Amino acid sequence: MTAPLAGPASRKERLALVGLALFVSAGHIAHLPAWLSGLALLLFIWQGWAHWQGRPSPPGWLRGGATLGVFACVFFGIGQLTGQTAGVALLALMTTLKLSELQRQRDAEIVLLLCCFVLATEFLFSQSLAMALYLVVGLLAIITVFVYVHTLAGPGRLRHAIGEATTLTVLAIPLAGLCFVLFPRLPGPLWHLGGGEDSAAVTGLSDRMSPGAISQLARSQRVALRARFDGPAPPPRARYWRGPVLWDFADNTWYNRADGPDLASANVMAQGPTQSVTITLEARDQPWLIALDTPLSADRDYRLGAGATLIADTPINERIRYRTRSALQRRLDPDLSRAARARALALPPAGNPRTRALARRLAVDTDSHGALADRAMKWLAAHDFVYTLRPPETSPRNAVDDFLFRTRAGFCEHYAGAMVYLMRAAGVPARVVTGYLGAEPALYGDYWIVRDANAHAWAEIWQPGTGWVRVDPTRAVAPARIDHLPENGRDSVDAGGNTRANGPLTGLFYRGRMAWDGMNAAWNQWFLAYGPTLQKGLMQRLGLNSQGAGVVVLTLAGVGLLALASLFMLWRMRPARTHDPVLRAWHGVERRMARTGRPRARHEPASQWAARLAPTMPRNGPELIALAADYEALRYDPRTGAAERRNFQRKARRFRRRRL
Amino acid sequence: MRLARRVVDRLVARGAASIARRAPRGALPLRVSPRRLYILPTRFGGVFALLMIGLLVGATNYGNNLAFALAFWLGAIALVSMHRAHRNLSGLSLADIHAEPAHAGDQLTWRLTWASKASRPRRRLAIALADARPVVCDIGASATVTAKQSAGRRGEQAMARIHIESRYPLGLFRCWAYLAPRHSALVYPSVAGTTTAHDTADAGRERTRPASVMPGEFFRGHRRYRDGDTWAQIDWKHSARRDHWLVRESEPPVTPPPAVFAYHSLGDRPHEARLSQLARWVIEAAALPGDYRLILPDIDIGPASGRAHRTACLDALARQP
């Protein structure tokens, strides 16, 4: 069975390539616009059909036109040709178009390389455990097709390709693992591709709280952070995770004015034992380093905001891990600056008249800010407020009035906002704090999970002497939301604050989810978090002091070993050295003559060669003839001895040094 | 500069000489030794390496550990594939060689029988002699492969060095070896000159032999059409040039006297042309019934017929000094 060396790709090979390209691009369907995915799918169907029917590749003008069309589609559909989404779309579509041109083996190889690249771009959008599985299967598929197109047709070809690909992939694991751990990692991006609108990070807590913002977040079961407590976990009532603090109110929205006065960093004084927490925070493209209320410090670059929130220098667009120290009992800003006080009391000049009236009523005969807050809490508890994720509409102009006196149904953001409004109207400095409340212990692994569903908002009021104090109006309305937090995690709290019943199915589901989370946590901790910092730590543990030096030493050692091995091979490749000293001396003479352009032909006996050349060398001709004669005598005459041999060697050496 | 070039030239020459010297040579069976295998990346392998570098830069830029994993894994697989390519060739042995005779200037066909102790088949090997077009095939426990080599001049021709190459399994590396078996084939003289000398006695007749003459029949000539002749006997081609029809006339098969092809009868031509002419006559005579005799300066063969006689004649022509 013979075949040309690089003939045209056969029908089966072409179909295998189409299938592979479809498989590695399939993951992009999730994050490309639907119409682009549809376009790609159409192209795939076209190519699959054409290769199935064994049609020749379309003419050049059609392929060129399709290429231009794809560029135009991406440009007009996405608005640009650069950036992550556009780049990935172009790559996937170009790979599909390349399938229409599979005449030669080289085309097949190009498609294979493109498939590797397409698979790599999938990881720009997600690096979850599921994607790791996709990587393994995708890699196996790619290598299988690699082998497939490099074998000859015959029975069992595909089975052999799969087997060989598996062998290759498995054998490569140790080396790949070593490279992964030891390859020098550089921190930070080398360049920026694409704008913020392309960012794959999902939104989380933001620095604006308009009605519905938190309740929308709370519908998601995505993990916001994972925490590991040093020592016992704090009691459920203390599991407040502090996020952004909002000072200003306008148009029904709590936010932080960009032109607001610069407030000094918060002054936190621990009043008891502190709690250390290691937090793995998911990427949310926000600068907040969420920490247990109230954070004192963290082990990465941060600044402490005026609201005692840890703020990173840049938005966090990758999963990060950090260690924080928090004080459960603390005094926060016992002395309030004038600017902060003014900001914590500011309200729009008009609006919500009934709320303002209520504030005046509550403020009568109260001697302290705390007592006033207590009265407000009691007022909320005494009226039939409903805690719900789907509050009815309120009028935009007097939203707080509507909420407190008409609808009386809302989520924590409504309660926190209304409480702060009420307090400010009564002359008490107050602010909104957003973050998370509660945590769920992981079943597999010593850590706690905080989900977006735990998103929460509460109020803080300022008291002379003690500073900022947490007031959580949600507790007055739905105590279950705070006091009966799902301690063992099996009950989930629905929007009404009622705990759901426990069924066997729920338990199974719960266990499955927890197992998945445990694997993800391990994945995040051991695989995804591996970067320059962890590598440095590993190098230090290996006894190589700095990462640079370690890499240099390893590299030099490796290169040195390889160089030694090559030198050894080169040495072994040297022409075999003749043991006969006479022959060696004669070879020297031959080399000398060859350098002057008079080499001995292979068939020529030594004396004949010398006789042929002697006439061309007036000065050294006789010498050469004599040498040749001596050489032949020494080689073939058994009567010659050591003295003649040494004499010949001397003469040969002299001859080689002459000018010829 | 000149010194550098001299050094590089010397190194390259030395490497080539070393490779040539180390090609397993001698009597069969010849084994592809694991230490005489050479590996270099193919162009595809080079592009693949560039892709790996691109992936690594991208992974570093995005701090993307899965992309790192993919890049390192692909790279490691490429390295492992190098060993698999090596394994695909190593240990294969050339068990037998058979040459089919050829004429000078034609293609020499070698039938190479390969054997392998390992149970795994050797996949997609490209086998070529010298710079001829390679033959691509799989080789199981035993396989015979036909390879061509251009037959040079008449006489004994040594087998060219065998180049056996594998790009299996991924096409990223080219792994090859040389085998130099001490083997030669006989190249007959090229076939040239005029046709059919042995019926020159029938002078005046047309020398060409129309293809329609049946084997065993001798073409005598044309005559005028007579009533009773069949249409099939009419030579239409020649009749077109006359105003009357011509009919082919043939003799009933008789045993012709043995043809004699003598070297000395071609006195005025150069040596090789004479040998080519004799080769042509021998081949044509062998295709016809009847004996023939070949007279060369040093040998006289025949008269006889049959395959063995033909081979003996051609061998004698090939071995002429």
Residues of A in contact with B15 (CB under 8 A): 573
Between the CA of residue B236 and those of B211, B217, B220, B232, what are the distances in Å?
A: 13, 20, 17, 9
Mean pLDDT of A184-200: 54
Nearest-angstrom CA–CA distance, A89 and A35 = 11
Q: Is A315 left (phi over 0), alpha (psi -120 to 50) or beta?
A: beta
- Largest CA-CA distance found in chain A, in angstroms, rounded: 138
A197 pLDDT higher than 80: no
A224 pLDDT higher than 70: yes
Q: B61 vs A180: CB contact, 8 Å cut-off?
A: no
The answer to whether B39 contacts chain A (CB < 8 Å) is no
Q: B137 vs A152: CB contact, 8 Å cut-off?
A: yes
Count how many pairs of residues, chain A against chain B, have C-beta atoms within 8 Å: 149
Contacts of A402 (CB under 8 A, 6+ apart): A394, A395
CA atoms within 13 A on the CB side of B93: 13
Pick among B70, B83, B139 to test the A interface (most A CBs inside 10 A): B70
Residues of B in contact with A17 (CB under 8 A): none
Residues of B in contact with A106 (CB under 8 A): 44
User: pLDDT band at A313, cuts 50/70/90?
Assistant: confident
Residues of A in contact with B71 (CB under 8 A): 120
Q: B73 vs A169: CB contact, 8 Å cut-off?
A: yes
All structural domains of chain B with their residue ranges: 21-187, 201-255, 259-318
Contacts of A497 (CB under 8 A, 6+ apart): A387, A478, A479, A480, A481
CB A432 within 8 A of CB A307: no
Among A327-336, A354-363, A546-555, A631-640, name the one with the lowest average pLDDT. Answer: A546-555
Q: A147 vs B169: CB contact, 8 Å cut-off?
A: yes
User: pLDDT band at A396, cuts 50/70/90?
Assistant: confident
Residues of B in contact with A571 (CB under 8 A): none
Q: B66 vs A119: CB contact, 8 Å cut-off?
A: no
Pick among B2, B7, B53, B66 to test the A interface (most A CBs inside 10 A): B66
- Which of A139, A191, A573 lies nearest to residue B73, judging by beta carbons? A139
Query: Tens digit of pLDDT for each residue in A248-301?
Result: 988 888 988 877 667 888 888 888 888 999 998 887 888 889 999 889 888 888
Q: What pLDDT, on a 0 to 100 scale, did the predictor assign at position A189? A: 62
Query: Tens digit of pLDDT for each residue in B72-116?
Result: 999 999 999 999 999 999 888 888 898 888 888 888 888 999 988
User: pLDDT band at A532, cuts 50/70/90?
Assistant: confident
Mean pLDDT of A560-578: 81
Q: Which residue of B has its CA nearest to A532?
A: B63
B196 pLDDT higher than 70: no
Give the pairing of strands B173-181 and B184-188: unpaired
Nearest-angstrom CA–CA distance, A117 and A115 = 5
Mean pLDDT of chain B: 81
Query: Tens digit of pLDDT for each residue in A335-357?
Result: 888 888 988 998 888 888 999 99
The answer to whether B245 contacts chain A (CB < 8 Å) is no
A212 pLDDT higher than 80: no
Among A127-136, A311-320, A426-435, name the one with the lowest average pLDDT. Answer: A311-320
Between the CA of residue A290 and those of A204, A310, A526, A535, what are the distances in Å?
A: 11, 7, 21, 25
Active site residues of A: 412, 456, 472
Query: Tens digit of pLDDT for each residue in A46-79?
Result: 889 988 888 888 888 888 898 898 888 888 877 7
> What is the residue type of A359?
A
Q: What pLDDT, on a 0 to 100 scale, did the predictor assign at position A143? A: 96
Residues of A in contact with B62 (CB under 8 A): 124, 189
The answer to whether B66 contacts chain A (CB < 8 Å) is yes
Mean pLDDT of B133-156: 83
B207 pLDDT higher than 50: no
Q: B136 vs A3: CB contact, 8 Å cut-off?
A: yes
Token pair 């065998």: residue: B162
Distance to chain A for B96, nearest Cα, Å: 19
A430 pLDDT higher than 90: yes
Residues of B in contact with A4 (CB under 8 A): 136
Between the CA of residue B41 and those of A105, A106, A108, B79, B84, what are the distances in Å?
A: 17, 15, 18, 10, 14
B118 pLDDT higher than 90: no
Distance to chain B for A304, nearest Cα, Å: 27
Q: What pLDDT, on a 0 to 100 scale, did the predictor assign at position A565? A: 92
Q: What pLDDT, on a 0 to 100 scale, did the predictor assign at position A163? A: 95
Mean pLDDT of B58-74: 90
pLDDT over 70, % of chain B: 90
CA-angle at A545, arms to A543 and A547, nearest 5°: 110
Nearest-angstrom CA–CA distance, B29 and B141 = 14
Task: Name which of A455, A377, A385, A357 is nearest A419 in CA terms.
Answer: A377
Mean pLDDT of A389-393: 79
Residues of B in contact with A132 (CB under 8 A): 66, 69
Nearest-angstrom CA–CA distance, B284 and B277 = 11
Nearest-angstrom CA–CA distance, A387 and A495 = 7
Q: Which residue of B has its CA nearest to A178?
A: B72
Q: What pLDDT, on a 0 to 100 scale, did the predictor assign at position B285? A: 84
What predicted TM-score, i.e. pTM, was given to this entire model? 0.64
- Which of B51, B59, B123 lies nearest to residue A151, judging by beta carbons? B123
Q: B61 vs A3: CB contact, 8 Å cut-off?
A: no
Token pair 């409340």: residue: A437
The answer to whether B114 contacts chain A (CB < 8 Å) is no
Sheet with strand A455-463: strands edge to edge = A268-270, A330-332, A467-471, A455-463, A430-437, A240-246, A291-292
Q: What pLDDT, on a 0 to 100 scale, did the predictor assign at position B49? A: 94
CB atoms under 10 Å from CB of A638, counted, come to: 5
What's chain A's Rg over C-alpha atoms?
A: 40
Nearest-angstrom CA–CA distance, B165 and A1 = 16
- Interaxial angle between packed helices A547-572 and A532-541, expressed in degrees from 0 to 180 and rounded to the nearest 10: 70
Query: Tens digit of pLDDT for each residue in A238-248?
Result: 899 999 999 99
Nearest-angstrom CA–CA distance, A209 and A434 = 9
Q: What pLDDT, on a 0 to 100 scale, did the predictor assign at position A548? A: 61
Greater confidence, A202 or A598?
A: A598
Mean pLDDT of chain A: 83
Nearest-angstrom CA–CA distance, A508 and A502 = 11
Q: Would you state the torsion angle of the CA atoms of residues A217, A220, A223, A227, taken in this order, to the nearest 10 degrees?
A: 60
User: pLDDT band at A192, cuts 50/70/90?
Assistant: low
| Burial state string for A128-142 with b = 16 or more CB within 10 A and e = fewer than 16 | ebebbebbeebbbbb
User: pLDDT band at A203, cuts 50/70/90?
Assistant: low
A490 pLDDT higher than 70: no
> What values do phi and psi take at A97, rounded to 5?
-70, -35
Q: B18 vs A573: CB contact, 8 Å cut-off?
A: yes
Between the CA of residue A370 and those of A367, A376, A483, what are the distances in Å?
A: 9, 10, 21
B241 pLDDT higher than 70: yes
Q: What pLDDT, on a 0 to 100 scale, did the predictor assign at position A544? A: 63
Residue B120 DSSP label: S
A424 burial level (CB within 10 Å; 0-12, 13-18, 19+): buried
Nearest-angstrom CA–CA distance, A178 and A189 = 23
Residue A314 DSSP label: E
Q: B169 vs A151: CB contact, 8 Å cut-off?
A: yes
Q: Which residue of B has its CA nearest to A142?
A: B74
All structural domains of chain A with their residue ranges: 11-171, 208-483, 581-657
| Burial state string for A159-179 with b = 16 or more CB within 10 A and e = fewer than 16 | ebbbebbeebbebbeebbeeb
User: Length of chain B in residues, anyone?
Assistant: 321
Mean pLDDT of A30-35: 82
Q: Residue A118 corresponds to which tokens in the numbers above? A: 């397409």
